[in-house]
Every structure is written in structure tokens, then in C-alpha cells.
Amino acid sequence: MCFLGVATPLLALLAAPVSAQEKSGVAPTGPAATAPVTKSKGRVYIKDLEGTWISRDFVERLRATRAPHALARQAAGIAIKIQQEGRSYPILITNFQRAVLEAIIDVEPDAKPNSYRLVLAKDDRGAVNSKDVTYVYFRGERNADGRFETLSISEPNFAKRRFLTYLRLNDPLDNFVNRAVIAGKYKDAEGQAYEFTEAGEAVLPDRSFAYEVSLDPSTATCELIQNHREREPDGKERIGFEWRGPDLRLYKVSGSKPPFKCDSKPFAVLTRQ
């Protein structure tokens, strides 16, 4: 398995750009082929799983707490990104602090109905020996439109092969996080307007910038928004935040490197409009 450092988990996920499904313990010996045009009924192709999947427990807790750093210190969330690149299907799995990047070689049926396994390898270029593959088991049923919207996945790296429920995100991951945590229009005690959009634009009374919500608790001792690392890679914006009931408190952040620290008193207390 290829473990990657994840300085910015959202960036890592977003950067991540079929062979015969016969039940066998041996992976194909050549590069992964693209899914055939004619699909067999009941067959699961890698293309059917393409997208971003996030653990349901993390989604529910994030919406309830709106505090991703505090949440991660209790129980890390897990996200899985499957995206086609040329003829390959890389799979990136992250707990927003570390990441594992491999390639999907095949999807094989398991013994039980609606149960399958992904065949993974470090590299799908050239021959792949059966002893070099790992398996990730999952269960799922298509909805009325023929799509998988939820999967139960036995993820081996961060979930210790426990079957957890994962939801398919219909939006980019950072948009979902922004909406769950901080997106909205606000005013401070002086009536000045603030806005954090779902698309990642922070509009303050004196400036604006492209932002993302930090999910890695090692980044700061408080909750943090910062410049979006892809859209504004040279940005220096960092703002701490905390929800106190209905109020959103914003804090100045100090430090030249992680973990950054928030001031003890907020520079603005915002109410949602």
C-alpha cells in the first residue's frame, strides 16, 4: 500500500485526476481494461463505483457538531475517491490525516448476494501477481435508477476491516463540507456583512478569498478555515472559528507553522441572516 502524507486532505482527494468479473483469487495479469459498452444485468463494473464516498457516521456527526477538528480527535472520518484516469481506476482512501493510493484491478462477486470485492494493487501497469493484490469487500444494492447511493465497505487501512456505511457524494467534497460546517450569510454586532459560500468564497468586510475548511486536526488547535490550496496556493489567510449556540465566532490565528493557535477572544461574533 502506498501511504501518502495529506497536508490538505481535500486537495489530495480532488487531485486523484474492467476486466472479466469471474470469481477468482487471481487478478488479471495486464493493465485494467475499460468497461465494455454492453453491460450484463446484475454485473458490477468499476465505473458503477466511480465517485467520492464518505462514511455516514462522519457525515452525521459533522452536521451535528460543525467542528471537524474536534470530531476527528474523537473518531476520524473516512473518504474514498474512485476516479478514472485513462484506462486505470485509482482509488484514494483517506482519514484526512493520511492517505492510501492504489489501483483497482477488478470487481469480483462474493459468495453472498449483493456482496463483492475490489481487487487492488499498488500499480496496474504491467503484470500483476495474485500475491501482490489486496481485497476490499463491500455490499450494496442499486436504487430504482440503477445507481449505488450507499455501500457497506470493509475498509482495511483506517476502519480495521469493519463494515461501515458510506454515502456517495453528489457534490465535490469541499462543497459538502462547507455547507455542513460554515456556509451562509452573517452579520456582526456592527451590522457588517460576512458570507461563506458553499462554493468556497469567503467575503469579509475588508477582503475576500477562496477558502476551505480544514479537516486535519494536526493543522490547528482550533477549528480553521484557510486559503484553498489549489485555487490560491500562495495564500496566507487563516481564520479560526467556533460555534456557540446560534453564533459563529471568528478568531485571529497565530503561528508560522502547524499547529496554528487561535486567540482566546473572537474578533467577530456573527449571527446568521
pLDDT at 150 over 80: yes
pLDDT average, residue stretch 59-80: 94
Q: Of 66, 15, 73, which Cα lies nearest the Cα of 220?
A: 73
Domain residue extents for the chain: 2-170, 181-272
**Confidence category of residue 235, pLDDT binned at 50, 70, 90:** very high
**Confidence category of residue 23, pLDDT binned at 50, 70, 90:** very low
Give per-residue pLDDT as tens, 82-91. 999 999 999 9
Confidence (pLDDT) at 111: 87
Confidence (pLDDT) at 39: 54
Average pLDDT, rounded, for the chain: 87
pLDDT at 3 over 70: no
Confidence (pLDDT) at 40: 57
> Is 2-170 assigned to CATH 2.40.128.50?
yes
pLDDT at 250 over 60: yes
